[in-house]
């Protein structure tokens, strides 16, 4: 049996610590952590390590993984009831370069907080930690907690993906504290493929010897049309060649051309269809060569029965505080995609309520932060015995 939870009581306790939470968020936002700045990421993770221990006490175990040129990954295991941990995923990197804070400081205006990374996703980590703190103060049980902090999510999690997949092994489910979608929980995300197309033609003088050359640009143009034709919006698939380069001079038949491809799919069957089409792509002129490189950056996060069940649990708890907790599917991907692909239930978007991810109007609602913290605490304690 899962414990009975008084969500309004949790919200009341969280509300009493509103200023403490805002102070924690302010300190965190004021430590810049751009994905491409190793020095900033090291400083940011060092600060977070001290803060997590201050708020939650010493963990039972800590594992640190080298992120290479990116941010390191730190995993905390906190004890609880049962032998299957609940996985909490939070990334600490942001898209904002060093120096952004000087021209766009952390600001509180009524119920609104702005600042670089406040929505995506620094508020989410603050909420996750304070949800665990609320349970401890209320004397409520919780399952073992595995908290993962990674510093390369915004650039596709190249270093942290294998760590996340390994650390997810043996866990019961995952809560991802990415920002919500206009308040909605994300129960499905598209898979993302990042590919490059390279065409090799034959250079020649376009005026003097037009038949001797093979235009790589012509071949690329034909390939772009074929790639864009793979788009099936009804099936949730979009294909976009967003950057093209090629050629040297207007009077020279282009010997090389390149294109960068972004592909989004919402089902494994569509992923397989697109993969087959990429493998079958051939040049129009047999004297040209065409090569596709790249891979799927994140697998599809499909709405599984386990995820739906976890969402309905959260939705029922939310009614106690008169919150209509919606769910949705989104085109963007997150680290939750990796865990969902392993067959585990995943609730994503459990973080901030607000808007403006990766934009200068990025902001959160303080009321939303308090509600989501209480709701996360309630959902976590209900996972104690299942």
What are the tens digits of pLDDT across the range 326-362? Answer: 999 999 999 999 999 999 999 999 999 999 988 999 9
pLDDT band, very low/low/confident/very high, at 98 (cuts 50, 70, 90): very high
| Own/partner pairs, 316-320, CB within 8 angstroms, 24+ separation | 317/5, 317/7, 317/375, 317/378, 317/379, 317/382, 318/7, 318/375, 320/5, 320/6, 320/7, 320/8, 320/378
Mean pLDDT score across all residues of the chain: 97
Q: Is residue 179 included in any domain, yes or no?
A: yes
Q: Which of 266, 298, 330 is the C-terminal boundary of a domain?
A: 298
Domain of residue 205: give its range: 191-298
Q: Is residue 354 included in any domain, yes or no?
A: yes
Q: Are residues 292 and 319 in the same domain?
A: no
User: In what helix (H) or strand (E) does residue 156 lie, and over which residues does it extend?
Assistant: none
Q: What is the pLDDT of residue 358?
A: 86
Q: Are residues 76 and 156 in the same domain?
A: yes
Q: Which residues are catalytic?
A: 93, 153
pTM: predicted TM-score of the whole model, two decimal places: 0.92
Residues 232-266 pLDDT 10s: 999 999 999 999 999 999 999 999 999 999 999 99
Residue 112 CB-half CA count within 13 A: 9
- The span from the CA of 179 to the CA of 355, in Å, is 8
Residues 48-57 pLDDT 10s: 999 999 999 9
Angstrom CA distances, 140 to 143, 377, 378, 380, 383, stand at: 10, 9, 9, 10, 11
In terms of Cα–Cα distance, which of 349, 306, 369, 370 is closest to 118?
A: 369
Q: Is residue 237 included in any domain, yes or no?
A: yes
Q: Are residues 30 and 166 in the same domain?
A: yes
- The span from the CA of 187 to the CA of 326, in Å, is 10
- The span from the CA of 174 to the CA of 187, in Å, is 11
Cβ atoms of 243 and 190 within 8 Å: the answer is no
Q: Are residues 125 and 148 in the same domain?
A: yes
Q: What is the pLDDT of residue 4?
A: 80
Q: Are residues 122 and 205 in the same domain?
A: no
By DSSP bridging, strand 289-298 and strand 173-176 are: unpaired
Q: Which of 298, 330, 354 is the C-terminal boundary of a domain?
A: 298
Q: Is residue 2 included in any domain, yes or no?
A: no
Q: Is residue 199 included in any domain, yes or no?
A: yes
Q: Is residue 1 included in any domain, yes or no?
A: no
Q: Are residues 110 and 251 in the same domain?
A: no
Q: Are residues 37 and 64 in the same domain?
A: yes
Q: What is the pLDDT of residue 1?
A: 43
Q: Are residues 199 and 292 in the same domain?
A: yes
Q: What is the pLDDT of residue 386?
A: 58
pLDDT band, very low/low/confident/very high, at 385 (cuts 50, 70, 90): low
What is the distance, to the nearest Å, from the Cα of residue 97 to the centroid of all Cα atoms in its chain?
18
What is the distance, to the nearest Å, from the Cα of residue 109 to the centroid of all Cα atoms in its chain?
27
% of the chain at pLDDT higher than 90? 97
Q: Are residues 289 and 307 in the same domain?
A: no
- CATH number of the domain residue 328 falls in: 3.40.630.10
Q: Is residue 171 included in any domain, yes or no?
A: yes
Instruction: Check pLDDT > 50 for residue 377.
Output: yes
By DSSP bridging, strand 354-355 and strand 363-365 are: antiparallel
Q: Which two tokens stand for residue 179?
A: 């920002």
- Domain tally, the chain: 2
pLDDT band, very low/low/confident/very high, at 275 (cuts 50, 70, 90): very high
Q: Which two tokens stand for residue 221?
A: 């143009």
* 3-state DSSP assignment of residue 224: helix
- CATH number of the domain residue 278 falls in: 3.30.70.360
- Mean per-residue pLDDT, 264-277: 96
Residues 8-32 pLDDT 10s: 999 999 999 999 999 999 999 999 9
Q: Which of 238, 272, 298 is the C-terminal boundary of a domain?
A: 298
Q: Is residue 251 included in any domain, yes or no?
A: yes
Q: Are residues 153 and 171 in the same domain?
A: yes
In terms of Cα–Cα distance, which of 154, 159, 44, 149 is closest to 95?
A: 154
Q: Are residues 40 and 129 in the same domain?
A: yes
Q: Are residues 197 and 323 in the same domain?
A: no
Residues 143-182 pLDDT 10s: 999 999 999 999 999 999 999 999 999 999 999 999 999 9
Beta-sheet strand order (sheet of 354-355): 107-109, 112-114, 363-365, 354-355
Instruction: Check pLDDT > 60 for residue 325.
Output: yes
Cβ atoms of 21 and 373 within 8 Å: the answer is yes
């Amino acid at each position: 049996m899962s414990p009975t939870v008084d969500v309004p009581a949790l919200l009341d306790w969280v509300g009493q610590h509103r200023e403490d939470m805002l102070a924690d968020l302010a300190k965190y936002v004021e430590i810049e952590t751009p994905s491409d700045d190793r020095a900033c990421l090291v400083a940011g993770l060092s600060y977070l390590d001290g803060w997590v221990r201050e708020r939650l006490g010493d963990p039972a175990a800590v594992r640190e993984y080298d992120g290479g040129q990116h941010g390191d990954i730190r995993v905390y295991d906190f004890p609880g009831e049962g032998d299957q941990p609940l996985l909490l995923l939070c990334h600490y990197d942001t898209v904002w370069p060093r120096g952004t804070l000087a021209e766009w400081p952390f600001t509180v205006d009524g119920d609104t907080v702005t600042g670089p990374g406040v929505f995506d996703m620094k508020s989410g980590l603050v909420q996750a930690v304070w949800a665990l703190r609320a349970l401890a103060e209320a004397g409520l049980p919780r399952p073992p907690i595995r908290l993962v902090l990674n510093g390369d999510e915004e650039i596709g999690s190249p270093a942290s993906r294998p760590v996340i997949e390994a650390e997810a092994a043996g866990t019961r489910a995952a809560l991802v504290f990415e920002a919500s979608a206009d308040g909605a929980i994300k129960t499905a995300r598209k898979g993302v493929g990042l590919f490059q197309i390279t065409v090799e033609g034959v250079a020649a003088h376009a005026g003097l010897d037009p038949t001797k050359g093979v235009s790589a640009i012509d071949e690329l143009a034909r390939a772009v049309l074929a790639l864009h034709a793979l788009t099936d919006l009804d099936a949730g698939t979009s294909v976009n060649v967003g950057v093209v380069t090629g050629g040297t001079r207007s009077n020279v038949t282009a010997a090389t051309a390149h294109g960068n491809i972004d592909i989004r799919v919402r089902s494994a069957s569509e992923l397989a269809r697109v993969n087959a089409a990429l493998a079958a792509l051939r040049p129009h002129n047999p004297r040209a060569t065409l090569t596709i490189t790249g891979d799927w950056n994140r697998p599809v996060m499909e709405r599984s029965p386990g995820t739906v069940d976890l969402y309905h649990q959260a939705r029922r708890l939310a009614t106690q505080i008169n919150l209509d907790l919606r769910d949705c599917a989104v085109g963007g991907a997150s680290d939750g995609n990796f865990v969902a692909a392993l067959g585990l239930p995943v609730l994503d978007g459990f973080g901030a309520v607000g808007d403006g991810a990766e934009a200068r109007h990025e902001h959160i609602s303080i009321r939303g932060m308090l509600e989501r913290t209480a709701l996360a605490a309630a959902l976590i304690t209900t996972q104690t015995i299942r």
